[in-house]
A and B are shown apart, each in its own frame.
Chain A
Amino acid sequence: QSALTQPPSAAGSPGQSVTISCTGTSSDVGRFNYVSWYQQHPGKAPKLMIYEVNRRPSGVPDRFSGSKSGNTASLTVSGLQAEDEADYYCNSYAGSNNFVFGTGTKVTVL
């Protein structure tokens, strides 16, 4: 099972939007609506930001949104803030009780 493909980096100025892609296959992202996104600050544990493609857990700002088209899922962060600077990982259910994570994207707030 190969890791989902994410761009290594993305950047935006405060107030702007940034979108991160997460490309899988028809066996994982394309097949199931069980894509989740995690934010990880340096030295910290990941934090769930989006689940089931586009649902936000309680407490996550609505600046964070998710979507999916075919084998590619996306996370958009609108109205970028300094605290959004972090690594972001996607995850997808891959069937047969197996999961695959993305390669990770470092978001920089310019």
Chain B
Amino acid sequence: QVRLKQSGPGLVKPSQTLSLTCTVSGGSVSSTGYYWSWIRQLPGKGLEWIGYIYYLGATYYNPSLKSRVTISLDTSRDQFSLRLTSVTAADTAVYYCAESRGGYLFDNWGQGTLVIVSS
């Protein structure tokens, strides 16, 4: 059973960069055909897909966030990471990492990280 464990700060100052990491255990970020996603949930609201990275390294982002988002892969550590630049209070959310077999579903999720943007 693949498990995803998230890490990273829960408080980020406005205009700074949000950085989160997802560590995969029981599997590998190099597994053929897998995509590794970041998804967020604004307070009391629904889910928003941020983007994903293919196991070979290609990245795809939500057009509404594309200019501020970078998702990267560290195959040596079986990790993938999210960077979101120039954050504002509107980026306050619970951030989830997720595994996607084949790219069209999110079948395994991390525990979630509440990130608050505040000075």
Contacts and interface: CB of A to CB of B under 8 A. Distances in A.
B107 A45 contact: no
B106 interface: yes
A45 B45 CA distance: 14
A36 B46 contact: no
A47 B109 contact: yes
Contact of A101 (B46, B104, B112): B46
B49 A101 contact: yes
A34 B102 CA distance: 11
Interface string A64-108: 000000000000000000000000010101000111111110000
A64 to B, nearest CB: 14
A98 B105 contact: no
A98 B46 contact: no
A48 B63 CA distance: 24
Interface in B13-52: 45-49, 52
Interface residues of B, number: 21
A46 interface: yes
B105 A46 contact: no
B111 interface: yes
B76 interface: no
Interface in A4-21: none
Interface in B59-87: 60, 62-64
A45 B110 contact: yes
Contacts of B62: 1, 98-99
A101 B107 CA distance: 15
Contacts of A57: 107
B99 to A, nearest CB: 10
Contacts of B111: 45
Nearest to A34: B104
Interface of A: 1, 3, 34, 36, 38, 45-48, 51-52, 57, 89, 91, 93, 97-104
6 closest Cβ pairs, A-B complex = A97-B60, A45-B109, A51-B105, A34-B104, A99-B49, A101-B47
